[in-house]
Amino acid sequence: EPEVTQTPSHQVTQMGQEVILRCVPISNHLYFYWYRQILGQKVEFLVSFYNNEISEKSEIFDDQFSVERPDGSNFTLKIRSTKLEDSAMYFCASSAQGSTNEKLFFGSGTQLSVL
Amino acid sequence: DAKTTQPPSMDCAEGRAANLPCNHSTISGNEYVYWYRQIHSQGPQYIIHGLKNNETNEMASLIITEDRKSSTLILPHATLRDTAVYYCIVRNFNYGGATNKLIFGTGTLLAVQP
- Is A104 an interface residue toward B (CB < 8 Å)? yes
Q: How far is A52 from chain B (nearest CA, A)?
A: 14
Q: Is the CB of residue A46 less than 8 Å from the CB of residue A37?
A: no
Dist CA A84 CA A65 (whole Å)? 15
Tell me what the mean pLDDT of segment B66-91 comes to. 96
Contact assignment for A48 to B103 by CB distance below 8 Å: no
Q: Is the CB of residue A25 less than 8 Å from the CB of residue A48?
A: no
- Reported as a single tens digit per residue, the pLDDT across B6-24 is 999 999 999 999 999 999 9
Q: By CA distance, what is B92's nearest residue in A?
A: A100
Q: With a CB-CB cutoff of 8 Å, which residues 13-32 of chain A face chain B?
A: 31
A31 CB neighbours in chain B (<8 A) are 99
- Reported as a single tens digit per residue, the pLDDT across A56-107 is 999 999 999 999 998 878 999 999 999 999 999 999 999 998 787 889 999 9
Contact assignment for A100 to B46 by CB distance below 8 Å: no
Q: By CA distance, what is A98's nearest residue in B?
A: B99
Q: What is the pLDDT of residue B69?
A: 95
A45 CB neighbours in chain B (<8 A) are 101-104
Q: Is the CB of residue B106 less than 8 Å from the CB of residue B22?
A: no
Q: How far is B114 from chain A (nearest CA, A)?
A: 25
C-alpha distance from residue B4 to each of A45, B23, B27, B44 (Å): 17, 5, 9, 17
Residues facing residue A10 across a β-bridge: A111
For B101, which of A56, A89, A108 is closest by C-beta distance? A56
- Reported as a single tens digit per residue, the pLDDT across B40-51 is 889 999 999 999
pLDDT-based confidence at B37, cuts 50/70/90?
A: very high
